[in-house]
Amino acid sequence: MGQSLKEILTKIGEDAKVAGRELAKLSTIEKNKILLEIKKSLLLDKEIIIEKNKLDIVNGRELGLSEGLIDRLLLDEKRVKAMAESVDTVIDLEDPIGEIRDMKSFENGLMVGQKSVPIGVIAIIYEARPNVTLDAAILAIKSSNALILRGGKEAINSNIAIANSIRKGIANAGYNENIVQLIEDTSRESSNELMRLRGYVDLLIPRGSSRLINAVVENAKVPTLETGVGNCHIYVDSSAKIQMALDIIENAKTQRIGVCNAMESLVVNSDVSDEFYKGLEKIIDDYNINVYGCEKSLEKLKNIKMASDEDFGTEYLEYAFSMKIVDSLDEGIDHVYKYSTGHSDVIVTENYENAMRFLNEIDSACVYVNASSRFTDGGEFGFGAEMGISTQKLHARGPVGLKQLTSSKYVILGNGQIRK
């Protein structure tokens, strides 16, 4: 008889533990050698990866995936090369492991400090973004963590091709390829078994839809890091420069529609001039955007729909957004606070006090003044890549990069002290 899915995943967990212990012993030079070999392997396999991705694109369209999700799924030559370049960025980053901080000497002669260490075995469940396969792997390796990948069926062909390249790169460097493992079974059962892999998985990260994230948070038996749905707001203050506001809105909404840091909700102060609405209407028409607005919004813009309470809380991931016109900064902040998912929120303003109030009172992972929410990204923040955007407050918040993939332990140096 064949192995059960539970037995298969337990073996993956066991192999990850062994590989993780081996990885934790490696120096920065040795880890960077692995990353360099992964880059070489990825570029050698570029055509195979792109061909496998084409299968996923065809399957995705047959499954009825939105254009936003298709965009997330797509890998072309430019994107694969960008993935390879991200490896160089991570190689150049400072190794977060082994740093000893806050070392203090006590009257009894003991010296006590904290040392940064790997978390151990990290697992990630993700959907429709095959670049995550590489991002997660290079971050895990540089931070000395073994990795278990469980992607969605939408990207399975791409994920297998990328994971094979990663594992070849590890083996070519002379190390245990089980440092990175991919679960090829995309059934719900494999996801559930991974969530229950206590004793093997030290941290589980879900990255994808609210349905996936909620399922992991509610059902996992292992520690989780909640990455967030992105109902990102832009608040246009009464003092905002009109063209700046329009440029930021256009970029945040339309540069890529299927990403968690895109604008999904627009809040406008009622004192903003009609010039703004003329420019906004042009953006809406140019991109054929569906807008769900309050009663005041319907008076300012044509061909928009009346918003429900649910619309204000929706992450659209398509050419659509909600809109609310408010009479004050207080009302604007209250609206953002009520509907934001704690991901990324923006104020466009020339008023310093209003900017500071927004920064202080909006409780999100990333809060912006006069810039697009599209910058909420590990690469843009100098992390090289990211595991996701954490919207929780414990352990890590915002883009999850190398430092967020570490834990710490106390190291105590003595010379024979005993406690009296």
Residues making up the chain, counted from first to last? 420
The answer, yes or no, to whether residue 66 has pLDDT greater than 90, is no
Task: Give the CA count within 13 Å in the CB-facing half-sphere of 152.
Answer: 22
Query: Which residues does 308 contact at the CB level (< 8 Å), separation at least 6?
Result: 292
162-176, 370-384, 402-416 — which is least confidently predicted? 370-384
Closest residue by Cα to residue 225 from 365, 361, 117, 111:
365
Report pLDDT for 395.
78
| pLDDT average, residue stretch 17-25 | 97
Residue with tokens 């791409």, as numbered in its chain: 158
| pLDDT average, residue stretch 55-83 | 91
| pLDDT average, residue stretch 208-222 | 86
What stretch of H or E contains 310? helix 309-312
Helix ranges restricted to H, 64-92: 67-73, 77-92
Closest residue by Cα to residue 387 from 149, 189, 73, 35:
149
Report pLDDT for 128.
81
Report pLDDT for 348.
98
Report pLDDT for 192.
94
Closest residue by Cα to residue 371 from 237, 244, 200:
244
> 31-45, 63-77, 393-407 — which one is most confidently predicted on average?
31-45
Q: What are the contacts of 411-414 at 24+ separation with CB within 8 A?
A: 411/100, 411/112, 411/113, 411/114, 411/115, 412/110, 412/111, 412/112, 413/110, 413/111, 413/112, 414/109, 414/110, 414/111
198 versus 398: the higher-pLDDT residue is: 198
218 versus 262: the higher-pLDDT residue is: 262
Report pLDDT for 1.
55
C-alpha 232/C-alpha 366 separation (Å) is 10
The answer, yes or no, to whether residue 279 has pLDDT greater than 90, is yes
Report pLDDT for 396.
83
- Backbone angle region of 102, left / alpha / beta, with phi > 0 → left and psi within -120 to 50 → alpha: left
Edge-to-edge order in the sheet of strand 406-413: 100-105, 111-118, 406-413
Report pLDDT for 78.
94
Q: What are phi and psi of 208, to 5 degrees?
A: 165, -140
Give the mean pLDDT of the chain: 94
Report pLDDT for 264.
97
Per-residue tokens: 60: 């995705």
Percent of the chain with pLDDT over 90: 83
| pLDDT average, residue stretch 76-92 | 94
Q: What domains can you pick out in the chain, each with its CATH number?
A: 5-227+387-413 (3.40.605.10), 232-375 (3.40.309.10)
| pLDDT average, residue stretch 112-138 | 94
Strand partners, 116: 408
| pLDDT average, residue stretch 48-61 | 96
The answer, yes or no, to whether residue 393 has pLDDT greater than 80, is no
- Backbone angle region of 402, left / alpha / beta, with phi > 0 → left and psi within -120 to 50 → alpha: alpha
C-alpha 266/C-alpha 270 separation (Å) is 13
Report pLDDT for 72.
84
Per-residue tokens: 299: 């008076």
Burial readout 397-415 (b: 16 or more C-beta within 10 A, e: otherwise): bbbbbbebbbeeeeeeeee
Give pLDDT tens digits for 294-322: 999 999 999 899 999 999 999 998 999 99
Q: What is the DSSP secondary structure assignment for residue 132, as one 8-state letter?
A: H
What stretch of H or E contains 189? helix 188-195
Percent of the chain with pLDDT over 70: 100
Report pLDDT for 397.
84
Amino acid letter, 69: L
